[in-house]
Structure 1
Amino acid sequence: MVKKKLSKRELERIAEAEAKKKQQEEEAERQRLRKEEKERMKKEQARAREKAQKEANEHENRIQTLSKSCALFNEMKEKKLQKDIKSREEEDWILYLKCDGKPNPGNLGEMNTYLYLWQLENDSDYIDNTIIRCTEVLKLLDVSDNLINNPLNASENLVKNWKEVRQNFRTELQTRIDNATFSILRNLEQNMISIDLSTVHYLKECPHFILGLWTEIINPHPWNYEPVAPTVDFSQIGVSLQVPYQLAKEYYVIRVLWVKYNHYSDISMTWNSKPLLPEYNRDLFTLNFEEYEQKQQLKKMIEEELRIQREREKSKRKKRHTKTTTEPEVMAQNETTTKPTTEPLPVETESGLKEIPEQERKEKESKEKTEITDNTEVITPVTATVNLQRSPSEILLENEENLKTILKEYLKTEVKEKEINMRQRIVLGGVFHINLLEQPSQPKILPDRTILTIIHGEPKIRHLDYYEVYVPPPPKEEEDKPLHSTDEPEAEKKPEEDSLNRLTLINITLPDTVLWFDTPIAVQWRDDINQWTTEYIYDSRFNEEKQVITFRVGKMAPIGLSTARFINLPYQAWEMRPDWKGGPGGVFFSITAATIIIEFIIRNNKVCINSLQNASGNALQDLVGLYFEPNRLIRMLQKGGVDVFPEHDAFIYTEGITPKHWITENHIYQCMALLSTTYNFSWSRWNLLAGQKKIVMQIREFLDRKRLPNYSMLLVTPQRTIVVDCTEVSQAFSEQGIQGMEYYPDLYWLTQAHASSTSKEKIEKADLMLVQTVNLILTRTRVFSFS
């Protein structure tokens, strides 16, 4: 059957019907999309309202609970401060009643009087008297250090005066040792021991310093005498030196004075860290309250900007509508006809840009009206007042990141080339005063048996004028050269070698009073800039097997051995729990550092080292088992090479470290300290990967060590603390709370809801001094930021 051919009119009718059908389908699709968009918007708005209400409820919870815990911790800090002040006053009163002739280091008048009377004495210039006075003065200076490092309620001006008096004592002590040296040198043959016919030496050792002297006695020599620059070994001190050849014909005294204390580093320009910015001195409640208020203000600003934007869009649509309705009339008056189009003509906007087609404009407008009023997402165009493309949380996060950048730049300490940054390095093992001194005039016996000593100028030691400028040669590229045969003549001495030999060669064996974890470098103290520097030190080498550092110097100045300060960071693990061995009321705290394992026992307001493992020597072992005030123990450990007490700027100089949120970290330490007699806390491998604002650790209640429960995983953020559904051996970390976990603003309130009655009773009766001492150790070690 032949298919009837459709006419042109019928084809047009079918095409019109299909077009109409397609248009109806498209309209139906648009209606469906609009309906889905409305439903989505309703759901989003419902979720936003639900989240906003949840945030409001949590904020109300924080106001009611977190404010109480922060107030409790602040009250405990204040009580501890008042107890410490009272204890210091009692110590002052005991010193006053002793009347033993020794001053109170905290009393400026007594210290200045003591110093004045000391300066009037002459008998202390003799070495034995100097040793006695050194012991007495160093005890006073140790107390002064404690006052300065822990000033309590002392004013800044008083602390400044303490430092000034301390420095005066240090200067006078060094002067007395120098004077004792001069009194020995005034009569070489009587006071020193002969090595041979022409040389004498001297050695004096005490708990605080070792003094070694060597010199040649002036004797007649034949006319062709060609002396050789000597190499002098002070084996008891661990120092040897070779005098440069240009001084071979000089008569001088070599003094090696090793003082086991360091009175230079803490007056260095880079010793003290810069204080934290005020934003970091708030408590956790104040932080959350202020951030919540800022977030609400930002929400209002964004909503206002959106309202203004909607009004503008409404005004633009109204103008477009008026313009499109008047165009046909204008065209009729001009008797101009145009072919109708399916889309409106582009219309110029106020900005000079053409408007998009109506259908696309409506779809885009529908999307731009999508307003998510929660604190996670707001998708709107950018305005000059507030960036509508970011949520309040994103804006606050950006502000916080900017503050961290400012803090890092502010805390960073810059030093000149060859100067030592004491924020990054430390000088250990005391100070070596290696000097070339002029030989003073010796006594002469006159014919009438009278002894006459002619002294030129002031009777004190005089340093030999020794200063050599050395410019190291530029490094040369290695060349492939044939080896010289043994019968070839020896090559002439190169000019740079001759220049190098004009420097003094020094060898120092590392003192065994320090644990050395890093290869040290030799540094010298410069009084003119109050800095340790390597400016006059050249050709430094280290023999690891013999533990000897060798270097040359072009100028004589006090020498120290500098090493990296935080070589034991980051930590590998840590644990804190009640101490079951020493009876109730004690806390065990251990740190597995990069090299060593150190354990502390904390009782009341004292701390002891329980054990020190993996150390490279026996240094500091005499401190094990002895209880000290925590700040004093920290200083002793740092001087012994064990610095596991990073300050707030240590992250700048430590690789691979991302510090945790400062305020949150301090708050959790206070919570842990309060719970330390009844809970067991431990390191978690998830902490490092959790990010800056999240702290992760393991926790369990510790009532009976024979029946300990399994660890739970604790997640702490600035806004909440929860036990998460995760373990240390899980394949991935989960931030989802365990079933039934409610909202808690911090660890204290979480344990108040879930701890046993026994634990709650122990927490309520916790000793204030113990809690605050534990808190001090935690805040000084900062195990969350550095593990």
Structure 2
Amino acid sequence: MVTRTRQLPERRGKFSDNMSAASRKKGKLSKAEKLQLQKEEEERRQREEEEAQILAEQIEAARLEKERLEREELERLEAKQLERREDELAEHRTLVDEKLETAARWKKDVRTLAKWERYTLCDGSPDPTVLQEINTFMSLWSEEPPEDFQAMLDRSSLILRLIEELEFLLLDTPLEELGEAAAAEHTETGRQLQVLLQRKFDEATEQLLKNAAALSDIDTGNMQKVIQNKNVALCIWANLNKNPRFRGYDFQDQAISFDLPKPLSLSNIAVRILHTDYDHLSCQSPTFLPQVKEHEDTAGAVIPESEAGDWKPAEEDEKTAPESVAAEELKSEERKSVLSAASHREEASEPEERSESWAADASEAHCPTPAPTDEDDMLEVDVVDLRQFTTLGGVYYFDVLVLPPQCKQVNSWSMRQLLAGGLQTFCYPQESFLSATLGVSLQEKDMEGLSSPPVRVSFKVPDNVIFFEEPQVARWDPEGRNWKTDALTDIKYNAEQRQLMFSMDAFYTFTLIQESHLHMPYASWELIPKGVNEVSLTIVSAVTDIQIDIKDGQCRLAAVSSITGDLSAVIERWMTPVRLQLAMRRVGLNVFPAEDSGKYVSGNQKNDEVENMAYKEMALLSPSFTFGWSKWNHNCSSEQIVVKVREGSGSCTDGSLYLLSRQRAQRLKISEASDTFSEERYDGSEFHTTLYHMIRDYCSAEATTRLQHSHHLFMDCVYQLLSATRVLTYS
């Protein structure tokens, strides 16, 4: 391009040469001299304007020339990318999709083998997946006479194992493989097992109380007893002596005690504290499952699974292969959530002792965030939203019961009055008093004039759960089927002793709750290679640092900072990603966002296809490259992802920044220390269809070789954990 430049006029002499000596002496200018000065000033101004215009034209011409060259270079690079697009996609499918599909086939074979081994197992336990077999077992057990409580505890271990077997089957098996009918059948079987289990606990409790006199303590004249196993602990106290001096009891081995109101110390009652390490009540709450409201344009539409989350480049939507089977397994968890939600509505009229649904755990997978409904706005102030809070430490069934008639010796005869109706609850306070005062704090009542004083409870928070904030306590409302925080007062917590004390205006089942999204958004994260088919994922939150190790096809919780508690049940134990998620949630380490977590925590929402594609790329590259959090990921659009990468292990502080989108991957010129975000391409870099091919331009041959020889189960495990933690969205 030729730039034309106008010739600047020559400058004239100074106007002072034309001045008359007389005028200079007088200090005044004549009219002619003034006109001459004005003329010269005008000429000077015009010259400056012309010079400025010429300079501006030169700058603009240079800018246009630069833009033209950049545009031509960009078009050349884009054309080059399009030329090799098919080859890069084909290689990407071989490296990523085929490995994930191979892992999915392997896991399917494992499930098939496990099913056969279960079929050939001859240990006397029923197969919960065979309807006729499990129904026969439940029918026979239901008709058996009441057992003593120790025998019942032994039997409960089998029941809980059967329930866990069904739970894991629903979580681990894609719905396409399991079938909707079988999924609904297994859900109902688990529900019936849990209902029957609670009923049998009540029968065993009644049987124990009928013999309370024979088990009474010599010192107090009352009966107090503890029976437990690893899942259930029964603390029971019978008021046989009815002495006002004994208004409570401290079960020291279980670190739980209660103080009764004076009116109850003279009543024919028993107090039962049944502590289970599982929660069979939360599933009954309307807030247990995410509330999904269909959009008008998609209501009633059936979306093929191959379209729900499949990564297809913009120009290749109709050409690329379907999403890998591994991603389908993650998506199947969402469908189980919907299925369980339907089952939950159908069971709305069932008795209170309904079973725990495990659908909420299945719904925690990475899937599109649903549109929120207005139901949240209708929740009462004291109702616990189980999408926002999680129950921890199990459930404490705290009941005051009518003490059944005791056996009497008359001569050589042993006589006992038999009452119909089974285990009876003692009404305290009276229903009229409770209905008049429920929801009113004890501070607002006249404590001196209360005919039904509150009940005091003190217990030690279990060591096997982690609370990063002061534990909150909630009581179960059987009518509204919700956990609520009303009717609980004078709450005190001793953090050093982990001792919690509070008062209740009646006997309620209670539990401990904690904010579900306490660790989100993450402050930062890193995925660091450690060896052959071995990486470490570190997530830094506001309250702790969590390290998860991944090796071959398994993972483990390796370390947690700044905690007090016993994590021996989960830490340093290798397990599958599904089991690790369940185990970490149960101890209070939830770094696995739910589909509706965006309603409760600020996140950096990304397009599902782009995010899913990025996790695949990271899983592929993880054997040779360290990935880390970048602040610029928050500045780019929802259709783009910025990630920090460096070859080898170690900190990713000085890593390079890469921009990913559906169309391409590119290396950015900016660094983490830059002042502003820019999509400007790194000098000398090109465009590629995938991050793998982009990074390959800068990595060593050894790094590429390690990627090609990584194991498919290892890659699948990394992909599942990244999809579960969603570090690109919640950081």
Settle same-fold status: TM greater than 0.5.
yes
Asked whether 1:662 is paired with 2:608, we answer yes
Compared CA separation, residues 191 and 463, structure 1 to 2 (3 A)? same
2:463 to 497, 512, 522: 512
1:614 to 551, 558, 562: 562
Compared CA separation, residues 528 and 746, structure 1 to 2 (3 A)? farther
Contact 1:693 / 1:718 at 8 angstroms: preserved in 2? yes
In structure 2, what is the equivalent of residue 148 of structure 1? 170
Contact 2:670 / 2:678 at 8 angstroms: preserved in 1? yes
Contact 1:577 / 1:680 at 8 angstroms: preserved in 2? yes
Could you give the per-residue CA deviations for residues 28-69 of structure 1, whole angstroms, max 9, x where no partner exists?
Answer: x9xx9xxx9xx99x9999899978998787677656645764
Asked whether 1:571 is paired with 2:551, we answer no
Compared CA separation, residues 248 and 622, structure 1 to 2 (3 A)? closer
3-state DSSP class of the match of 1:236? helix
State how far apart, in whole Å, the 2-side matches of 1:707 and 1:441 are: 71
Contact 1:218 / 1:251 at 8 angstroms: preserved in 2? no
In structure 2, what is the equivalent of residue 771 of structure 1? 715
1:177 to 190, 198, 201: 201
Superposed, which structure 2 residues align to 1:567-606 within 5 Å?
567-580=518-531, 584-606=532-554
In structure 1, what is the equivalent of residue 415 of structure 2? 452
In structure 2, what is the equivalent of residue 352 of structure 1? none
- How many residues get paired? 612
Contact 1:256 / 1:435 at 8 angstroms: preserved in 2? yes
Could you give the per-residue CA deviations for residues 471-495 of structure 1, whole angstroms, max 9, x where no partner exists?
Answer: 566999xxxxxxxxxxxxxxxx963
Task: Give the C-alpha shift of residue 547 in structure 1.
Answer: 3.4
1:127 to 149, 155, 158: 149
Q: Which has the higher contact order (CA 8 A, sep 6+)?
A: 2
3-state DSSP class of the match of 1:185? helix
Task: Give the C-alpha shift of residue 644 in structure 1.
Answer: 0.7
Q: TM-score, normalised by structure 1?
A: 0.69
State how far apart, in whole Å, the 2-side matches of 1:230 and 1:714 are: 68
Could you give the per-residue CA deviations for residues 244-268 of structure 1, whole angstroms, max 9, x where no partner exists?
Answer: 3443432210111111122223454
Between structure 1 and structure 2, the one with the greater Rg is 1
Contact 1:148 / 1:159 at 8 angstroms: preserved in 2? yes
**Percent of paired sites with the same residue:** 23
Superposed, which structure 2 residues align to 1:211-226 within 5 Å?
211-217=234-240
Q: TM-score, normalised by structure 2?
A: 0.74
Superposed, which structure 2 residues align to 1:364-375 within 5 Å?
none
1:547 to 468, 490, 498: 498
Task: Give the C-alpha shift of residue 630 in structure 1.
Answer: 1.3
2:259 to 237, 242, 262: 242
Q: CA RMSD in A?
A: 4.0
In structure 2, what is the equivalent of residue 168 of structure 1? 192
Asked whether 1:747 is paired with 2:691, we answer yes
Superposed, which structure 2 residues align to 1:500-539 within 5 Å?
502-538=453-489
Asked whether 1:93 is paired with 2:116, we answer yes
Task: Give the C-alpha shift of residue 498 in structure 1.
Answer: 3.6
3-state DSSP class of the match of 1:726? coil
3-state DSSP class of the match of 2:157? helix
- Of residues 48-57 and 500-509 in structure 1, the stretch that sits farther from structure 2 once superposed is 48-57
Compared CA separation, residues 109 and 628, structure 1 to 2 (3 A)? farther
3-state DSSP class of the match of 1:515? coil
1:209 to 218, 232, 235: 232
Task: Give the C-alpha shift of residue 410 in structure 1.
Answer: 5.4
AA of the residue aligned to 1:242: D
In structure 2, what is the equivalent of residue 296 of structure 1? none
Compared CA separation, residues 412 and 60, structure 1 to 2 (3 A)? farther
Asked whether 1:724 is paired with 2:671, we answer no
State how far apart, in whole Å, the 1-side matches of 2:655 and 2:70 are: 36
Contact 1:184 / 1:191 at 8 angstroms: preserved in 2? no
Superposed, which structure 2 residues align to 1:462-473 within 5 Å?
462-464=425-427, 466=429, 467=431, 468-469=434-435, 470=437
State how far apart, in whole Å, the 1-side matches of 2:420 and 2:234 are: 25
3-state DSSP class of the match of 1:766? coil
- Of residues 113-122 and 601-610 in structure 1, the stretch that sits farther from structure 2 once superposed is 113-122
Compared CA separation, residues 132 and 405, structure 1 to 2 (3 A)? closer
3-state DSSP class of the match of 1:601? strand
State how far apart, in whole Å, the 2-side matches of 1:195 and 1:475 are: 35
Asked whether 1:652 is paired with 2:599, we answer yes
State how far apart, in whole Å, the 2-side matches of 1:565 and 1:636 are: 14
In structure 2, what is the equivalent of residue 330 of structure 1? none
AA of the residue aligned to 1:653: Y
Superposed, which structure 2 residues align to 1:161-560 within 5 Å?
161-197=185-221, 199-217=222-240, 227=244, 230-273=247-290, 281-285=308-312, 407-409=370-372, 416-417=379-380, 418-447=382-411, 449-464=412-427, 466=429, 467=431, 468-469=434-435, 470=437, 495=446, 498-499=449-450, 502-538=453-489, 540-560=491-511
3-state DSSP class of the match of 1:621? coil
Compared CA separation, residues 145 and 736, structure 1 to 2 (3 A)? same
AA of the residue aligned to 2:416: T
In structure 1, what is the equivalent of residue 325 of structure 2? none
Structure 2: runs of 5+ lacking an equivalent: 1-49, 320-366
State how far apart, in whole Å, the 1-side matches of 2:396 and 2:441 are: 30
2:624 to 675, 678, 681: 678
Task: Give the C-alpha shift of residue 520 in structure 1.
Answer: 2.7
3-state DSSP class of the match of 1:80? helix
Compared CA separation, residues 678 and 46, structure 1 to 2 (3 A)? closer
Structure 1: runs of 5+ lacking an equivalent: 1-28, 222-226, 293-403, 477-492
Task: Give the C-alpha shift of residue 756 in structure 1.
Answer: 3.1
Could you give the per-residue CA deviations for residues 282-317 of structure 1, whole angstroms, max 9, x where no partner exists?
Answer: 42325565699xxxxxxxxxxxxxxxxxxxxxxxxx
Compared CA separation, residues 753 and 47, structure 1 to 2 (3 A)? closer
Contact 1:185 / 1:191 at 8 angstroms: preserved in 2? no
Task: Give the C-alpha shift of residue 588 in structure 1.
Answer: 1.8
State how far apart, in whole Å, the 1-side matches of 2:557 and 2:604 are: 28
In structure 1, what is the equivalent of residue 125 of structure 2? 102
State how far apart, in whole Å, the 2-side matches of 1:475 and 1:551 are: 12
State how far apart, in whole Å, the 1-side matches of 2:213 and 2:564 are: 43
Contact 2:309 / 2:608 at 8 angstroms: preserved in 1? no
In structure 2, what is the equivalent of residue 694 of structure 1? 640
Contact 2:220 / 2:241 at 8 angstroms: preserved in 1? no
Contact 2:402 / 2:423 at 8 angstroms: preserved in 1? no
Compared CA separation, residues 707 and 439, structure 1 to 2 (3 A)? closer
